Structures are given as C-alpha cells and as structure tokens.
Amino acid sequence: MGRYPRTQISGPLSDFVSSVYRDMRSEGYAVLSAAHALTAMAHLSRWMEDHQLSIAELRPDRVEEFFHHRRATGYVGFTSSRALDPIVRSLRRSGVELPGPADRPGPHDELLAEFADYLETERCLTVLAVENYCRVARHFLRERFEDARPTPRDLRTIDVTGFIRRASRRLSVSTCKIQVTALRALLRWLYVRGEIDSDLAGCVPAVAGWRQASLPRGLEDHQVERLLRSCDRRRSVGRRDYAVLLLLVRMGLRAGEVAALELDDVTWKTGEILVCGKGNKHAHLPLPHEVGEAIAAYLKRGRPRYPSRKLFLRSRAPYEGLGRHAVTAIVQRAFQRAGVQSRRRGAHVLRHTAATQMLRRGGSLSEIAQVLRHSHIDTTAIYAKVDQNALRELAQPWPGGES
C-alpha cells in the first residue's frame, strides 16, 4: 500500500506513486493536475488488482477495457489513452516495460525499418526526407499487399504505374513528384537486395511538370495584419504564436526551422539569429527589430519556466519543444481566427508572402535568395512573376491592338 499526497493506491502500481508525481511536476504539470492523474492511476491499479493483471499484461486492449469500465461507472475524466501518457512515460523512465503497439509489429514494419536504415546510412538523407520516403513506401505496400506480409517478388509493372496514376488524381504536381522519387528509391533498393528479379524503378512514370509554371501564392498586406492581430498578446500562448508568425512572415523561415530554434541561437548583442536549414546548413541572419521584440516578450512573459533549451515550448504540460507540425498548426489556427480565406493555409504560404513583400518593396532577387537561403538563384526566379509593376514595363503591345 503506497500513499502520496492524499492519494492511496493499492495493487501493481502502488510502488510508483512518488515517481509518477515527481516526474509530472518536473514536466510542468500543476499540483492539482498531478493529483488528478494519481487518482486515475489508483483506479487503474485497483482494476488491475481485481482482474489479477500484472504490469507486463497491461496491453493496449486491456487498457481500453479499463477505460470502458471507467466510463461505465460514471467517470468523465481520464477516459482515453492520451490521458495516461504522463503515467506511462514515468513508468518507462523507472524501467518498467509496458506492452504497446510497437510490441506487435505490422507486416510491413520490418521491411520499412531496413529501408529507413538504408536511406539514413547509405543515402545520407535527412530525417524529414526519410519520413517522407517511408510514408510513401508504406502506402504503396499497404495498397498492394493490404495487411498481408509483403512478397516483393509478386510486384508487377501494373502495380507501380497504377499507384502513381491514382496518386496523380488527388495530389498536386510537386507532391506527386515526391511520390515518384520515393517509389523509385524503394524499388531500386529492393532490386539491389535481390528481393525482386528486375529493376522496376524504370517502370515508374514521370510526372509532367515544368519549372516556373506556377505562381507563388502569398498573402496581401492586410491579410498578414489580420493574422498577426488574431494573436491575443495578453496571454502567453498569444505571445508565442505572434513571435512564431513573425519569424515565418518577416524572415521567411520554414516551419521546421522555427521548431529547431534554441535559446542559444539568438545573439542579442549583435542582433542575429542562427538558423539551421535544409541539408543541415547553418546561416546567421539579422534579426529584425519587430521580430526580436516579439521573441523577447515571449521569453519574459510567456515561455514556461522549464529547463529545455528549445526556444518555443508547448503552452501546456508536458513543456516540450514545438515540432514542425505544431508550428504549422499555429499558422492554421491563426488563419481560422482571422477569417483569412486562402487556398493554402500552411506555414510555407507565409514564406512565399515574405518573399513577395520584399520584392514589392524594392528587394532584388539576389537579396531575396540570401534571406530565403536558396542554393540556386533559379529557385528565387519564380518570384519575378509576382512583381506586376516591373512586368508591366516589359510587356509589349499586342500586334494590331491599342498601345
């Protein structure tokens, strides 16, 4: 029988009360939140004792059975697996091995794990690229083999072309090109391993697409102002979101670059910020006064007091650093709050906006390329088409029409 603050626990989890409470407090949970978690933990431990379950037998299906029992008895809180995440993390820190989905691998997991290892060690791809390639590979294997163990030798040309053809109907040209590249990598890897008898990578159809064929879709100035005003800077989360949006729309950073920022990357004396971009390339960029003020306001009156070196943290416990998807979610919520209508609402729209604003205010393509850290000026050349005033001067009168 264990007792930790005002919570009495019996059963298999009784020895972990103090460690769970201590870990939750160190992650930033309030005393009351930790106490409520311990109450749910006590209920779970009693239920395990009644069903004669050990910790090693606490499989996901038994956890769902517990939640069903908890809801049936009238509880409305801590009725999902996510609610138990802090308890699970603490138990694993204490060396407890809990069964989970990872202990029941799917039919494609082993093959995909080896493919990911090849991409990382031999192809030296970034973590994000490996994730994208493996996502496409998983989708392809599931579509072809469903839930059965994959047998690559059964792959046919029609499987490859059909997959790309179906993807082309629902995906943009750029996304479909990623699908093609990832699928070719998978098929070549299978051929080199001897899993397939012929190199089916040559069967992957090319995607028709031309450079500079599309226009970058940026926002108008009034739309940007609406996005920024939608952040309630009286609250800590509003100060954080405001700083994140400014980094995206004033400096043209990518979502992953914002998520990767750390406290030491900002040099206040020189007014610079260190950005880690694509290919693990680092660049020192001048920190605009407006952006620096927003970051300073967040650090002084918004950032949780937590030992993480990440610049931007979650607004609620556990106070871990924001990821790339969390930064994108901040942008999407701002679009929703501000009521800004746009075909695309991701963080990259703000990067396009930063480039078009610099161009309209007199910036040259080479200057924009430096700010956006493009490796080739050809990548930046697409923004020349949005400068309508400059293009109007170059336009020739239509033959036979009014000049």
Q: What angle do CA 263, 266, 269 make, to 5 degrees?
A: 130
Active-site position among 337, 348, 360, 373? 348
278 is catalytic: yes
Which three-class secondary structure state does DSSP give residue 271?
Answer: coil
Give the integer Cα–Cα distance in Å for 81 and 60. Answer: 9
Give per-residue burial for 285-313: e unless 16+ CB within 10 Å, then b.
bebeeebbebbebbeeebbeebebebbbb
Q: What contacts 29, CB < 8 A, 6 or more positions away? A: 37, 86, 317, 318
374 is catalytic: yes
149 is catalytic: no
How many CB atoms are closer than 10 A to CB 240?
A: 27
Active-site position among 278, 333, 345, 360? 278
Give the integer Cα–Cα distance in Å for 167 and 89. Answer: 38
Active-site position among 133, 298, 319, 383? 383
- What are residue 146's phi and psi, to 5 degrees? 55, -125
351 is catalytic: yes
Active-site position among 254, 303, 310, 352? 254
Active-site position among 108, 240, 351, 352? 351
Active-site position among 374, 376, 385, 392? 374
348 is catalytic: yes
Which three-class secondary structure state does DSSP give residue 96?
Answer: coil
Q: What contacts 34, CB < 8 A, 6 or more positions away? A: 20, 21, 24, 25
Catalytic residue positions? Answer: 254, 278, 348, 351, 374, 383
